[in-house]
């Protein structure tokens, strides 16, 4: 094997797409998926590649110094792509401490262990931190984009914990010259998205004719990107990104939540053979999220100019394929909503 790369959070939504891409595209790399399997970790997401000879799963917590040390020693790790995190804003409002623990302390622990193992020889090493556009705060409704120069202004416990982790990664570059790269990405969508997040939640509820909870008036804006376009950007930045640099990743694809939900309702009615307007009748306006950021929008000019990345998917194509994926993978959805997916690890690995 020419490289040993840890991908943290590889059983989660985005991580599973990154793991699959690296395992299949780089058979000469050993890919070590390090995941604690929280409620968001689901090994069913990657069961198609778990027998690949260049893939290993390590059930571990990134906050565990001893285990991380062992894993770095055992595999002689020379690259890290760090996705493991608590990722859901609503959960950070009710339970902020686990976000600080995993996102901040977990990242600090990984940086510390990587530095210890790589110290004195950073040749051929790379630490890629996968972060979010939410660290930049909230934009006005009608103007402005987040660039790599936008000042940090996180406003939820989730985004504050991610902002702190970004600062730690940059500090390891400035202080120790560790070769780090960062990507700050907008909202992802696609297969294997946990159905607590807007798009899969709406799809699941439409399938089961349940209410569709829209926060506030549904006026908030998000910039949506297909998860495979994000995985491709991560691949590019991990290999070609310049040490110490940040790259913003986004779809130039802004939607008001309510317009997106209307669009999804029509799409799903068509796919389910229901009369148009059926799903829209399920929309329920509910109490707004506390501190709800109004608008996110990414200027992805730097990654486009410097590394030649632009999204492949149009939203219409991506959303239609995503809806099809959920409709033909209802077992995946049922396992997640019933908790059945938690048994997979016990059955396959114990
Ligand atoms: P996710 O919640 O689907 O998956 C997170 C994964 O991390 C899970 O497999 C979970 O088991 C694992 N994990 C959590 N705590 C851990 C710990 N202490 N040790 C080891 N593993 C742990 O998240 P996601 O949506 O795939 O996001 C992945 C990363 O991308 C996160 O860092 C997130 O901040 C970032 N991000 C997400 C989006 C998005 O739209 N989802 C956009 C931009 C950036
Ligand atoms: O911008 C990147 C971020 O996108 C990532 O860093 C986060 O990990 C990811 O969870 C996502 O955060 P959001 O808070 O934007 O995603 P969520 O799917 O939770 O919500 C999208 C929008 O939809 C947001 O404005 C809140 C609204 N919403 C959400 C849910 C779950 C609703 O109106 N109803 C809902 O039931």
Which of the listed residues 11, 37, 40 should we mutate to test ligand 1's pocket, taking the one with most ligand atoms within 8 A of CB? 40
Stated as kind and residue range, the H or E segment containing 4 is strand 3-8
**Ligand 1 within 6 A of 84 CB?**
yes
> Which residues make beta-bridge pairs with 213?
284
Name residues whose C-beta falls within 8 Å of residue 218's C-beta, 6 or more positions apart in sequence.
Answer: 256, 257, 258, 259, 261, 285
Kindly list the distances between the CA atom of residue 94 and the CA atoms of 57, 87, 98, 99, 165, in Å, as whole numbers in the listed order.
31, 13, 10, 11, 20
**Ligand 1 within 6 A of 200 CB?**
no
**What residue owns the CA closest to ligand 1's atom 32?**
83
CA distance 34 to 36: 7
What token pair was written down for 194?
């946990």
Q: Which ligand is nearest to the CA of 130?
A: 1
- Ligand 2 centroid distance, CA of 289 (Å): 10
With vertex at residue 302, the alpha carbon angle to CA 300 and CA 306, rounded to the nearest 5 degrees, is: 130
Kindly list the distances between the CA atom of residue 239 and the CA atoms of 64, 236, 288, in Å, as whole numbers in the listed order.
27, 5, 41
Kindly list the distances between the CA atom of residue 114 and the CA atoms of 73, 121, 179, in Å, as whole numbers in the listed order.
10, 11, 11
Supply the pLDDT for residue 258. Answer: 98
Of 44, 133, 166, 229, the catalytic one is 133
DSSP, res 342 = G
Return the half-sphere exposure (C-beta side, CA atoms, 13 A cut-off) of residue 176. Answer: 21
Q: Each residue's pLDDT tens digit in the chain (350 positions)?
A: 899 999 999 999 999 999 999 999 999 999 999 999 999 999 999 999 999 999 999 999 999 999 999 999 999 999 999 999 999 999 999 999 999 999 999 999 999 999 999 987 999 999 999 999 999 999 999 999 999 999 999 999 999 999 999 999 999 999 999 999 999 999 999 999 999 999 999 999 999 999 999 999 999 999 999 999 999 999 999 999 999 999 999 999 999 999 999 999 999 999 999 999 999 999 999 999 999 999 999 999 999 999 999 999 999 999 999 999 999 999 999 999 999 999 888 787 76
Instruction: Label each residue of 95-108 as H, E or C.
Output: CHHHHHHHHHHHHH
Q: Check if 158 is active-site.
A: yes
Which of the listed residues 8, 15, 100 should we mutate to test ligand 1's pocket, taking the one with most ligand atoms within 8 A of CB? 15
Q: Domain limits of the chain?
A: 3-192+225-252+295-314
| Helix segments in the chain, DSSP class H | 13-25, 65-75, 89-94, 96-99, 107-118, 157-176, 198-207, 227-240, 257-272, 301-307, 315-328, 330-338, 343-349
Supply the pLDDT for residue 1. Answer: 87
User: How many Å from the N-terminal Cα to the C-terminal Cα in the chain?
Assistant: 27
Q: Check if 345 is active-site.
A: no
What token pair was written down for 333?
């959805």
- Ligand 2 centroid distance, CA of 41 (Å): 18
Ligand 2 site residues (CB inside 6 A) read: 87-89, 132-134, 186-187, 197-198, 201, 213-215, 220, 222, 257, 289, 296
Task: Name the architecture of domain 3-192+225-252+295-314.
Answer: 3-Layer(aba) Sandwich (3.40)
Give per-residue burial for 302-321: e unless 16+ CB within 10 Å, then b: bbbeeeebebebebeebbee
Q: Check if 296 is active-site.
A: no
């Amino acid at each position: 094997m020419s490289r040993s790369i840890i991908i943290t959070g590889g059983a989660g939504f985005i991580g599973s797409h990154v793991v699959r891409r690296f395992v299949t595209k780089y058979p000469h790399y050993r890919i070590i998926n390090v995941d604690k399997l929280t409620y968001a970790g689901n090994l069913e997401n990657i069961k198609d590649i778990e027998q690949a000879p260049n893939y290993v799963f390590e059930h571990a917590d990134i906050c565990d110094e001893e285990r991380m040390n062992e894993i770095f020693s055992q595999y002689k790790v020379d690259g890290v792509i760090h996705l493991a995190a608590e990722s859901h804003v609503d959960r950070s409002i009710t339970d902020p401490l686990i976000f600080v623990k995993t996102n901040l302390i977990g990242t600090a622990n990984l940086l510390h262990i990587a530095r210890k193992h790589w110290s004195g020889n950073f040749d051929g090493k790379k630490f890629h931190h996968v972060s979010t556009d939410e660290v930049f705060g909230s934009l006005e409704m009608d103007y402005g984009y987040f660039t790599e120069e936008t000042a940090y202004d996180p406003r939820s416990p989730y985004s504050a914990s991610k902002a702190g982790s970004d600062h730690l990664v940059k500090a390891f570059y400035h202080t120790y010259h560790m070769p780090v790269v960062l990507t700050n990405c907008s909202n992802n969508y696609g297969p294997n998205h946990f159905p607590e997040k807007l798009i899969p939640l709406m799809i699941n509820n439409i399938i089961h004719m349940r209410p569709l909870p829209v926060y506030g008036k549904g006026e908030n804006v998000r910039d949506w990107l297909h998860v495979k376009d994000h995985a491709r950007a991560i691949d590019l930045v991990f290999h070609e990104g310049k040490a110490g640099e940040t790259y913003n990743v986004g779809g130039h694809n802004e939607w008001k939540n309510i317009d997106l939900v209307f669009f999804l309702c029509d799409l799903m009615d068509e796919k389910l053979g229901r009369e148009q307007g059926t799903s829209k009748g399920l929309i329920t306006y509910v109490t707004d999220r506390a501190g709800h950021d109004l608008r996110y929008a990414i200027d992805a000019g730097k990654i486009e100019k410097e590394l030649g990345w632009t999204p492949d998917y149009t939203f219409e194509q991506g959303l239609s394929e995503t809806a099809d994926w959920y409709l033909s993978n209802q077992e995946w959805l049922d396992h997640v909503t019933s908790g059945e997916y938690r048994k997979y690890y016990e059955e396959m690995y114990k």
